Protein backbone atom coordinates (compact mmCIF):
# COMPACT_ATOMS: atom_id res chain seq x y z
CA UNK A 1 0.00 0.00 0.00
CA UNK A 2 1.50 3.32 -1.09
CA UNK A 3 1.69 6.57 0.85
CA UNK A 4 -1.65 8.34 0.73
CA UNK A 5 -3.15 11.64 1.81
CA UNK A 6 -6.42 12.22 3.57
CA UNK A 7 -8.27 15.37 4.58
CA UNK A 8 -9.25 15.90 8.22
CA UNK A 9 -11.35 18.47 10.07
CA UNK A 10 -11.28 18.87 13.83
CA UNK A 11 -14.87 20.07 14.28
CA UNK A 12 -16.22 22.93 16.48
CA UNK A 13 -17.17 20.71 19.45
CA UNK A 14 -13.57 19.48 19.67
CA UNK A 15 -11.95 22.91 19.30
CA UNK A 16 -14.37 24.26 21.93
CA UNK A 17 -13.33 21.44 24.26
CA UNK A 18 -9.66 22.28 23.65
CA UNK A 19 -9.01 18.77 22.31
CA UNK A 20 -6.91 19.73 19.26
CA UNK A 21 -3.64 18.60 20.82
CA UNK A 22 -5.08 15.34 22.16
CA UNK A 23 -6.58 14.53 18.76
CA UNK A 24 -3.32 15.37 16.99
CA UNK A 25 -1.53 13.07 19.40
CA UNK A 26 -3.86 10.17 18.50
CA UNK A 27 -3.31 10.93 14.79
CA UNK A 28 0.46 10.86 15.21
CA UNK A 29 0.43 7.75 17.40
CA UNK A 30 -1.45 5.99 14.58
CA UNK A 31 1.51 6.64 12.28
CA UNK A 32 -0.06 9.50 10.33
CA UNK A 33 1.90 12.70 9.68
CA UNK A 34 0.17 16.12 9.83
CA UNK A 35 1.63 17.68 6.66
CA UNK A 36 -0.67 20.75 6.58
CA UNK A 37 -2.82 22.35 9.27
CA UNK A 38 -4.77 25.61 9.68
CA UNK A 39 -7.34 26.84 12.19
CA UNK A 40 -10.20 28.57 10.36
CA UNK A 41 -13.72 29.79 10.79
CA UNK A 42 -15.56 28.28 7.82
CA UNK A 43 -17.97 30.46 5.91
CA UNK A 44 -21.48 29.15 5.24
CA UNK A 45 -20.55 28.93 1.54
CA UNK A 46 -17.48 26.79 2.30
CA UNK A 47 -19.45 24.46 4.59
CA UNK A 48 -22.34 24.12 2.11
CA UNK A 49 -19.92 23.27 -0.69
CA UNK A 50 -17.95 20.86 1.47
CA UNK A 51 -21.09 18.93 2.47
CA UNK A 52 -22.93 19.34 -0.87
CA UNK A 53 -23.07 15.52 -1.15
CA UNK A 54 -25.41 15.55 1.87
CA UNK A 55 -27.60 18.43 0.59
CA UNK A 56 -30.73 16.24 0.35
CA UNK A 57 -30.28 14.67 3.79
CA UNK A 58 -32.61 15.86 6.58
CA UNK A 59 -29.68 16.89 8.79
CA UNK A 60 -27.92 19.04 6.15
CA UNK A 61 -28.90 22.45 7.57
CA UNK A 62 -28.06 21.32 11.10
CA UNK A 63 -24.69 20.00 9.89
CA UNK A 64 -23.78 23.21 8.03
CA UNK A 65 -24.86 25.41 10.97
CA UNK A 66 -22.78 23.31 13.36
CA UNK A 67 -19.68 23.46 11.15
CA UNK A 68 -19.78 27.28 11.11
CA UNK A 69 -20.64 27.61 14.81
CA UNK A 70 -17.00 27.85 15.89
CA UNK A 71 -13.43 27.44 14.70
CA UNK A 72 -12.30 24.24 13.03
CA UNK A 73 -8.83 22.89 12.28
CA UNK A 74 -8.39 21.69 8.70
CA UNK A 75 -5.56 19.24 8.10
CA UNK A 76 -3.87 17.08 5.51
CA UNK A 77 -2.66 13.75 6.91
CA UNK A 78 -0.14 11.58 5.12
CA UNK A 79 0.86 7.97 5.63
CA UNK A 80 0.45 4.43 4.50
CA UNK A 81 -3.22 3.70 3.73
CA UNK A 82 -4.02 7.09 5.30
CA UNK A 83 -7.73 7.22 4.36
CA UNK A 84 -8.66 3.92 6.01
CA UNK A 85 -6.19 4.33 8.84
CA UNK A 86 -7.62 7.71 9.84
CA UNK A 87 -11.18 6.39 9.71
CA UNK A 88 -10.09 3.67 12.14
CA UNK A 89 -8.64 6.28 14.49
CA UNK A 90 -11.84 8.39 14.19
CA UNK A 91 -14.22 5.56 15.05
CA UNK A 92 -17.85 5.15 13.97
CA UNK A 93 -19.91 8.23 12.99
CA UNK A 94 -22.14 7.70 16.04
CA UNK A 95 -19.96 7.87 19.17
CA UNK A 96 -22.21 5.29 20.89
CA UNK A 97 -21.03 2.80 18.28
CA UNK A 98 -17.37 3.90 18.19
CA UNK A 99 -14.69 1.50 19.42
CA UNK A 100 -12.84 2.23 22.68
CA UNK A 101 -9.84 4.51 22.26
CA UNK A 102 -11.11 6.14 19.06
CA UNK A 103 -11.39 9.93 18.76
CA UNK A 104 -15.18 9.85 18.59
CA UNK A 105 -15.49 7.50 21.57
CA UNK A 106 -13.21 9.74 23.61
CA UNK A 107 -14.51 13.18 22.61
CA UNK A 108 -17.73 13.18 20.53
CA UNK A 109 -21.02 14.30 22.05
CA UNK A 110 -23.45 12.96 19.44
CA UNK A 111 -23.76 11.82 15.84
CA UNK A 112 -23.95 15.48 14.81
CA UNK A 113 -21.24 16.87 17.08
CA UNK A 114 -18.78 14.09 16.38
CA UNK A 115 -15.42 15.87 16.73
CA UNK A 116 -13.75 14.97 13.42
CA UNK A 117 -14.19 14.50 9.71
CA UNK A 118 -12.07 12.22 7.56
CA UNK A 119 -12.28 11.59 3.81
CA UNK A 120 -13.99 8.36 2.76
CA UNK A 121 -11.79 7.60 -0.32
CA UNK A 122 -8.54 8.84 -1.92
CA UNK A 123 -10.53 10.59 -4.69
CA UNK A 124 -12.71 12.46 -2.17
CA UNK A 125 -9.59 13.33 -0.18
CA UNK A 126 -8.07 15.04 -3.23
CA UNK A 127 -11.30 17.00 -3.86
CA UNK A 128 -11.55 18.06 -0.22
CA UNK A 129 -7.88 19.04 0.16
CA UNK A 130 -8.01 21.56 -2.73
CA UNK A 131 -10.97 23.32 -1.08
CA UNK A 132 -8.66 24.43 1.75
CA UNK A 133 -5.01 24.05 0.76
CA UNK A 134 -2.75 24.83 -2.16
CA UNK A 135 0.06 22.40 -2.91
CA UNK A 136 2.59 24.92 -1.48
CA UNK A 137 0.84 24.70 1.94
CA UNK A 138 1.43 20.93 2.13
CA UNK A 139 4.89 20.06 3.35
CA UNK A 140 5.59 16.35 3.71
| Sites of contact with Mg ion (CB under 5 A) | 120
Residue 27 CA to residue 133 CA, distance in Å, equals 19
Nearer Cβ to ligand GTP (81/120) = 120
* Radius of gyration for the alpha carbons in the chain, expressed in angstroms and rounded: 14
Nearer Cβ to ligand GTP (14/136) = 14
Q: Is 22 in the site for ligand GTP (CB under 6 A)?
A: no
Nearer Cβ to Mg ion (61/140) = 61
Residues near 102 by Cβ (< 8 Å), separated by ≥ 6?
88, 89, 90, 91, 92
19 has catalytic annotation = no
Residue 32: is it exposed, middle or buried by C-beta count within 10 angstroms (0-12/13-18/19+)?
Answer: buried
Q: Is 131 in the site for ligand GTP (CB under 6 A)?
A: no
Q: Is 112 in the site for ligand GTP (CB under 6 A)?
A: yes
Q: H-helix or E-strand containing 7? A: strand 3-10
| Binds 46: which of ligand GTP, Mg ion, none (CB < 5-8 Å by kind) | none
**Sites for ligand GTP among residues 87-106 (CB under 6 A):** 93
Residue 103 CA to residue 5 CA, distance in Å, equals 19
Q: Is 61 in the site for ligand GTP (CB under 6 A)?
A: no
Nearer Cβ to ligand GTP (78/120) = 120
Of 53, 54, 56, the closest CA to residue 127 belongs to 53
Catalytic residues, by residue number, are: 117
The residues binding ligand GTP (CB under 6 A) are: 54, 59, 62-63, 93, 111-112, 114, 117-118, 120
Amino acid sequence: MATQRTFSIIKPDATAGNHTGAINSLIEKAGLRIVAQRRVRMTREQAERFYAVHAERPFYEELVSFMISGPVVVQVLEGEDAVARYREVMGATNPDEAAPGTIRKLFARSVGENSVHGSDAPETAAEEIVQFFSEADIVG
